[in-house]
Structure 1
């Protein structure tokens, strides 16, 4: 522990400061100054806004290269790369009006380009927009993104699924570091609170080139909230209430920044009762309570930028086993339940040189997880300590070629502190080296990269040979070479074509290698296989996107072949009354895609129609379907924007009809599911009462009180439906 903290603190070394600055004026196409445009130097974690004359000034800038992003609602976002800043420079910018949402800089991919310039298609969604849909938790909001689903246990536990892959095949990044929380467990949720998170970026497909093992299926990259604008103090308070669970979610944040120093602090509390199904009954012990605390401190000057962030999350989760039993609105969990404590510390550093830069990201995560059956004595108590590092060097630009080389690794230790073991005590060490480059010419971009990874896993022997809970000692070594190649071009001014091919890999996890007993929540006896090979995949993605002032259309297709796909399969025998499942391997194929349409008709500029369809099929190469493949979904939304006098600005109302189709393409031991259609509505905007202003939103979800069971619900085997009608009221103040 001490050596981890020492490594983090070493990054706080300071350098001498220079006095470079950039100033300029931002106007529209008619040369009118634009006030309130955000000018963001993300590498310095510094933002300002233009004044009433459209003027901005950024000071204490590095001598090397720097990218500035200019964004304003109703206008196309622009990013400007300034090379070798010296003294004071002038940069004037003209923004073009745009009816659709602002283009966003994608930071989860190597070169931090706008999505319209990116070689890889990445979906980006703000947390605010997900909350405006009335979602109670972060994972519920993620499941509204096309291509993303969730394996859920009521409202409290959810695991992300990207194009049919989940668990250790989907890597989660937060605060710039990988989140490790025993993802192998079906009852182990995301463990993140949406308070203090600005947005999420979704990479759908293998991202092992950038992130190593476990990014075989994709990456969820959570961007933390930004610091306050330079030389300002900002505070905010948010409250959401939920009718179905009689729940509430509260957050309070404070931020202050100078030209060089910046600070933030945020607290959040979320509590929910058992959720109510359409017949009026409540599903026993689906209640939960969550406390979350985040803090950050940053410093930047002409030589470097450094940000230290801390996140503490405390979850008290009920585990539903009795279905519909005791009826209560209590928020105090009963047995069985989980207690989860996450401590996450990250240090993100950027050092600037004359024509290059170095990123050094360090992280430490402690996941403390306990499970209780019928008393306050934990039957399972696992502590997972993870230290990870990610070092990237951006080489000097060579003509039109930009290049990044780097090293990445992780040191992880799993320790059991209770009598019952789910997985053995073990240590895991990862090391990877990679390089990637991009060549831009005209409207074309070609991006390629390679990577080598090595993993060493050592576990301890535990228990008595031949009995449940026995684990043999393991000493396993895995390695893998991976590569990616992507091409983007514009067939026409508004028509973009992307084609990407990439390999990925995943080493088997401890549960797959060593399980020997009844797995909590699965009601089956699982037997691991220490001779499992590394999963290796090749995925090809094709994306066609058309964007004009009032019309947007995109279609994305993928084909994913996985060698040695690991899954559990019934052996045909029983042990103590439980069906025995063995971990085996087989080649597998997944294919499908997403189609989306957004119409913003002129002259009805206040009206939006959005529709999207997503589909994925997963098959074993020797026949049969893969388990836990989400059902096809068709989502339709009509949105109207409006203003009412001076008291309601940025008003909106939405009507959403979401149709999920039946899923009968299931594995031999999976359960098929029926289709269903849900009706949702929303209303909101910015309310101004004198000098007081606040954001308001009201949502009604499942308004027809439809009884439905999602295919990936872990309560489906007991025939327990999801939530009935649920009204959500939210209000947010800034001060």
Structure 2
């Protein structure tokens, strides 16, 4: 008995009007956690794939409408895809609510997707703060570092939060517990608005927030990323460094993030001891082979937040336990 040969898929991505190749386009197979980038001629190659089976393939390129196709790996013919220019770059692949990737147009549930670019383009202090801009989604917040999801009026243990398929339940309990996920690590977020109890359990009565990491690097590549942001109100600084690679199917990824902020300021005064700092370290190693993939993920998330019960003196100024007025240096400590 001989093992089935490895499948290798080749193809080309072209412009619908000029018929020229599109360099730098992304070809992804979400179910296999594989991706490839087209070369200067718009051509791509995917190796170490199952020799048979039908899988959904997503093709995307900046400034073009993303498309999805179900491809039969048993066919040896090259795959040629044609993309059309579009101001709206729709993401069609939706993983929420189904055991495998599916086309959003064939999904009966109400699903909204936030891409990585959308998450980073809007100023926010945490991940939930960015997601809350979607219609039907809000947040319960008790400070810059704490935000809980609200979907169509339901929150706490009526909304499920997933991070790469793992339930995050810390935000379901105390008022001072937010989503314990690094906002820089999310590649895209899918929000399922409405009951999803059959798939995710009784606590998904309000909906599901599915936070997904990006696909591993293309085979034979090494890439890194550095993100930083700054907010003037509370001096928030956030920095995140990531490195990932893929050597013949052996994938690895590491990320470190640190955020720090002092007390935030209202139009009239600072709110004492409302600052916070946050750190996250995570890593991933795994194999992407013809039989599928196996990934091991580990992360450590720490969040230190300040608490203050407002007390004012006879002049209306905020004071500490000893009756002393907070100074600017204390508020910016």
Counterpart of 1:242 in structure 2 is 231
The Cα RMSD (Å) is 2.0
Pick the aligned partner of 2:221 from 232, 236, 239: 232
After TM superposition, the structure 1 = structure 2 runs for residues 76-91 of structure 1, keeping only pairs within 5 Å, are 76-85=65-74, 88-91=76-79
How far does residue 329 in structure 1 lie from its aligned partner after superposition? 5.0
For structure 2, the residue ranges without an aligned partner over 5 or more in a row are 312-317, 320-325
1:261: how far off? 1.4
What stretches of structure 1 of length at least 5 have no aligned partner? 1-15, 334-735
Shift of 1:19: 1.5
Work out whether residues 187 and 214 of structure 2, in 8 Å CA contact, stay in contact via their aligned partners in 1: yes
Distance 1:261 1:306 in 2: 10
TM-score relative to the length of structure 2 = 0.89
Stretch moving more, 173-182 or 111-120: 111-120
Secondary structure at the aligned position of 1:123 is classed as: strand
Task: Please name the residue that 1:322 is paired with.
Answer: 310
Shift of 1:234: 0.4
Per-residue deviation, 1:258:
2.6
Residues 14-53 of structure 1: pairs in structure 2 closer than 5 A: 18-30=5-17, 31-53=19-41
Q: Which secondary structure does the structure 1 equivalent of 2:85 belong to?
A: coil
Distance 2:332 2:93 in 1: 42
SS of equivalent residue, structure 2 residue 187: strand
User: Are the equivalent residues in 2 in contact too, given 1:273–1:287 (CA < 8 A)?
Assistant: yes
Aligned to 2:301: 313
Partner of 1:267: 256
In structure 1, what is the equivalent of residue 115 of structure 2?
126
**CA shift for structure 1 position 121:** 2.2
Q: Please give the per-residue CA displacement for 1:149-199, whole angstroms capped at 9, x wherever unaligned.
A: 111112121111111000000100002111122612222111222121111
- Structure 1 residue 304 and structure 2 residue 259: aligned? no
Which structure has more helix as a fraction of its residues?
2
Aligned to 1:104: 92
**TM-score normalised by L of structure 1:** 0.41
**Aligned pair in 2 of structure 1 residues 248, 329: CA closer, same or farther (>3 Å)?**
farther
Contact 1:273 1:329 in 2 (8 A): no
Of Structure 1 and Structure 2, which has the larger fraction of its residues in strand?
1
Match of 2:315 in 1: none
Q: What secondary structure does 1:92 align onto?
A: strand
Q: Which residue of 2 aligns with 1:114?
A: 103
Partner of 1:72: 61
Within 5 Å, which residues of 2 pair with 1:486-497?
Answer: none
Equivalences for residues 271-670 of structure 1 within 5 A: 271-279=260-268, 281-322=269-310, 324-325=318-319, 326-329=326-329
Structure (1 or 2) with the larger CA radius of gyration: 1
Q: CA deviation at 1:332?
A: 9.2
Question: How many residues of Structure 1 are paired with residues of Structure 2 in the alignment?
Answer: 316
> Which residue of structure 1 aligns with residue 182 of structure 2?
193
CA distance in 1, matches of 2:5, 2:21: 30
- 8 Å CA contact 2:252, 2:285 repeated in 1: yes
Checking the alignment, whether the CA contact within 8 Å between 1:274 and 1:328 is kept in structure 2 is no
Q: Is the 8 A contact 2:184 2:240 kept in 1?
A: yes
Cα distance, 1:69 vs structure 2 = 0.9
Residue 17 of structure 1, CA deviation: 7.4
Deviation at 1:124, TM superposition (A): 0.6
- Paired residues of 1:246 and 1:329 also in contact (CA < 8 A): no
